[in-house]
Structure 1
Amino acid sequence: MLEVTGLHVAYGGIQAVRSITFHVNEGETVALIGANGAGKTTTLKAISRVVNAVGGDVHFCGEKIIGVAPHEIIRKGIALVPEGRGVFPRLSVLENLRMGAFVRDDKAGIAADIDRMYAYFPRLKERADQLAGTLSGGEQQMLAIGRALMSRPKMLLLDEPSMGLAPIMVQKIFEVIRNVAAAGMTILLIEQNAKLALESSQRAYVMESGEITLNGESAALLHDPKVKAAYLGE
Structure 2
Amino acid sequence: MSTAPLLEVRNLKLSYGGITAVKGIDFYINPGELVTLIGANGAGKTTTLKVIAGLLKPSSGSIHFLGSAIGGQPAYELAALGVGLVPEGRGVFARMTILENLQMGAYVRQGSHSVKSIDHDLEVVLETFPRLRERLSQLAGTLSGGEQQMVAIARAMMARPKLLLLDEPSMGLAPLMVETIFGVIQNLNQHGMTILLVEQNARLALSMADRAYVLESGVITLSGTANELLNDDRVREAYLGVDAKTSAT
Q: Deviations over 1:49-95 (max 9, x none)?
A: 10111010000000000121210100110000000000000000000
Q: How far, CA to CA, are the matches of 1:228 and 1:108 in structure 2?
A: 49
Q: Would you say 1:64 and 2:69 are equivalent positions?
A: yes
How much does 1:130 deviate? 0.3
Q: Deviations over 1:148-203 (max 9, x none)?
A: 01000101000000000000000000000011001100000000000001011000
Q: How far, CA to CA, are the matches of 1:132 and 1:46 in structure 2?
A: 27
Q: Would you say 1:186 and 2:194 are equivalent positions?
A: yes
**Which of 86, 97, 102 is the matching residue for 1:92?**
97
Normalising to structure 2: TM-score of the pair?
A: 0.93
Aligned to 1:225: 233
CA RMSD of superposed structures (Å): 0.5
Q: Which runs of 4+ in 1 moved over 3 A?
A: none
Aligned to 1:31: 36
Q: Would you say 1:44 and 2:49 are equivalent positions?
A: yes
Q: Percent identity?
A: 59
Amino acid at match of 2:158: M
- 2:94 is paired with a residue of what secondary structure? coil
Q: Would you say 1:117 and 2:125 are equivalent positions?
A: yes
Unaligned residue ranges in structure 1 (runs of 5+):
none
How much does 1:144 deviate? 0.2
**Which of 127, 147, 167 is the matching residue for 1:139?**
147
Amino acid at match of 1:7: L
Unaligned residue ranges in structure 2 (runs of 5+):
1-5, 243-249
Aligned to 2:208: 200
> How many residues in Structure 1 have an aligned counterpart in Structure 2?
234
Amino acid at match of 1:158: L
Q: How far, CA to CA, are the matches of 2:135 and 2:187 in structure 1?
A: 22
Normalising to structure 1: TM-score of the pair?
A: 0.99
